[in-house]
């Protein structure tokens, strides 16, 4: 069964003015779609095509891994944002952030540093490592599931994620993500599942 490009969880203009419809047209409609199309071509007629995206990514390297993980990462990233997002989480996730980072502000500093210092293309993540929360960064298509960590929230720091709206100003994009876009409901639901 071929993989399909998932719909965005909001309208293309719903994240504007922070992330514009033009960015989402390219990032979702061209980049994310290309990963889906490439993966389908690579798996055409192979038994792996019947497996889940996660299973394929965890069992592969090279082009199959790169495309499978990028399909997964982008779907996770769309869900890591929402219109009128940003600010702080509440409840159990905020308590865990306070416990494991010292404060929400310390978490935001660590997340910003990871996203800023990821050299070249990649991702920054809030993860559950099995006993505590952590911030990590991964290069290119790499993702935390490959390292035994459960992702809770991510920001895409490939240039294609921010170049139309922010040009080369990656720090401004990261600041905007935390202030206006981060979907803490999604992260909290992931945290509840990971720690159930
Ligand atoms: Zn991307």
Transcribe 58-98 into DSSP letters: HH--HHHHHHHHHHHHHHHHHHTB-TT--S---HHHHHHHH
> From the CA of 156, how far away is ligand 1's center (Å)?
6
> From the CA of 74, how far away is ligand 1's center (Å)?
6
Range of the domain at 176: 91-194
Q: Does any domain span residue 4?
A: no
Q: Does any domain span residue 142?
A: yes
CATH (domain of 55) = 1.10.287.990
115 and 185 part of one domain: yes
pLDDT the model gives residue 123: 98
Say whether pTM exceeds 0.95.
Answer: yes
109 and 39 part of one domain: no
173 and 118 part of one domain: yes
State which residues of the chain have pLDDT below 70: 1
pLDDT the model gives residue 4: 97
pLDDT the model gives residue 1: 66
Residues measured by CB to lie within 5 Å of ligand 1, the ion: 156, 158, 161
> From the CA of 93, how far away is ligand 1's center (Å)?
26
pLDDT the model gives residue 103: 98
């Amino acid at each position: 069964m071929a993989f399909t490009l998932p719909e965005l969880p909001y309208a293309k203009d719903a994240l504007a003015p922070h992330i514009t419809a033009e960015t989402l047209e390219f990032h979702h409609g061209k980049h994310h779609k290309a990963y889906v199309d490439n993966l389908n071509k690579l798996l055409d007629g192979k038994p792996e095509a019947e497996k889940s995206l996660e299973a394929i990514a965890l069992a592969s390297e090279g082009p199959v891994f790169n495309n499978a993980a990028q399909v997964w990462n982008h779907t996770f990233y769309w869900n890591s944002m929402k219109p009128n997002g940003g600010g702080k989480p509440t409840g159990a996730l905020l308590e865990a952030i306070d416990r494991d980072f010292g404060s929400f502000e310390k978490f935001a500093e660590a997340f910003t540093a990871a996203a800023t210092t990821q050299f070249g293309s990649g991702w920054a993540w809030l993860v559950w490592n099995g006993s505590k929360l952590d911030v990590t960064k991964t290069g290119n298509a790499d993702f935390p599931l490959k390292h035994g960590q459960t992702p809770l929230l991510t920001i895409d720091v490939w240039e294609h994620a921010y170049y139309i709206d922010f040009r080369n100003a990656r720090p401004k994009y990261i600041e905007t993500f935390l202030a206006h876009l981060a979907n803490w409901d999604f992260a909290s639901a992931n945290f509840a599942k990971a720690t159930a």
